[in-house]
Each structure stands twice: as structure tokens, then as C-alpha cells.
Amino acid sequence: MATTKWAIDPTHSEIGFKVKHMMFTNVSGKFNDYEATIASDENNFENAAINFSADIKSIDTGNTDRDNHLRSADFFDIENSPKMTFKSSSFTKVNDGNYELTGKLNIRRIEKEVKLPVEFSGIMTDPWGNTKIGLNITGKINRKDWGLNWNSALEAGGVLVSDDVRLNIELQFAKQ
């Protein structure tokens, strides 16, 4: 079978996340500078190879002080680990429109396997004749698994930053 290559359309994609702050509200963020590719067998995405990288300095939570803290050694440590990467090991169809993505997520030079549910939105041709696909990746990871350990205890109990990071990743790819 011929391999089809897909490149991310960054103007129609978002790498987003949410973390609980003070145990009861969510703080949202995203990465603004990233790359992603898919290699698949024609239009069959079963076992597609998915690769992703994000430039940590592009983290954006809407607050400069918080973003700078996230870039520091307390969290992502961009001095020593400027990129976050993901390389898939499998992309398995669960049922129509739903897949499970498994692969190695590397943050702070710590590589861990993750499994994430993916909604495949389908294949369409845009008004300019480009073939596109859409993916929505969700899931949850524990930030401490990658050495993102900084926190502060709250006087009333609990902690300032949740260990759980919820992912909300909307991706559009163009056939190359």
C-alpha cells in the first residue's frame, strides 16, 4: 500500500489543556508553536504513525507571569528541555469514528507511554480542493509523571495546582 502523508494545518488546530487551580476552578492554556505529521496507508488510519512536537516557550495561559513560571525549572524547564514531543506506537480503531492513540510523550527528557481517546471527524475536501481530516484528542495525564512537581499547599487544605492535566487537542491535517 502507498503511504499518505498529512501535515498539520496550524490555523485550524489547537493544542489545549486545563488544570484545576485552588481545587475548584480551571485554568486553560495552549501551545502556539508546534508541528505534527501523520503517515497512513492511503485513507486508512488504522496503525497510522503520528508525530508531534511543541515549543515549550510558546505556552500561553493568558497570563505572562504564570507563563514565565511554567517555563521555569519549577515546571517545564525550557533551559534544559525546550520541546515536548510525542511519537505514536499505535493508532487503533475502537469503533466508527473512535480510535485509541498510544505512544511515548516526552516532557523534561522524561518519556512515558500514554493512551488517549481520539475522535476521528472524517475526511473532507475544502473549497480550494485540499483533502483534510479532523481529530479531537482528549484525555488526562498526571503532570508529576514528567517531573512537573511544583505546588503550594492551601491554608484551607488541598493544593494550588492539580496533578491532573486534562487535554483538549483539536487537529486538522492536510493531505500532502
Q: pLDDT (tens digit, 9 = 90+) per residue, 113-165?
A: 999 999 999 899 999 999 999 999 999 999 999 998 888 887 877 778 898 99
d(CA 146, CA 169): 19
From residue 60, give the alpha-carbon distance in Å to each of 15, 68, 81, 147.
10, 9, 17, 20
From residue 170, give the alpha-carbon distance in Å to each of 13, 78, 148.
5, 24, 24
pTM of structure? 0.91
Residues 21-77 have pLDDT tens digits of: 888 899 999 999 999 999 998 767 888 999 999 999 999 999 999 999 999 999 999
Q: Which residue has the cell 508525530?
A: 51
For residue 171, give the nearest of 130, 120, 96 by alpha carbon. 120
pLDDT of residue 28: 96
For residue 16, which phi and psi values (nearest 5 degrees)? -115, 160
d(CA 138, CA 169): 6
Lowest model confidence (mean pLDDT) among 2-6, 32-36, 132-136, 166-170: 2-6
pLDDT of residue 87: 98
Total count of residues recorded for the chain: 176
Helices (H), the chain: 64-71
d(CA 109, CA 147): 9
Q: Pairing relation of β-strands 161-175 and 3-8?
A: antiparallel
Residues 71-120 have pLDDT tens digits of: 999 999 999 999 999 999 999 999 989 999 999 999 999 999 999 999 99
d(CA 144, CA 148): 5
166 pLDDT higher than 80: yes
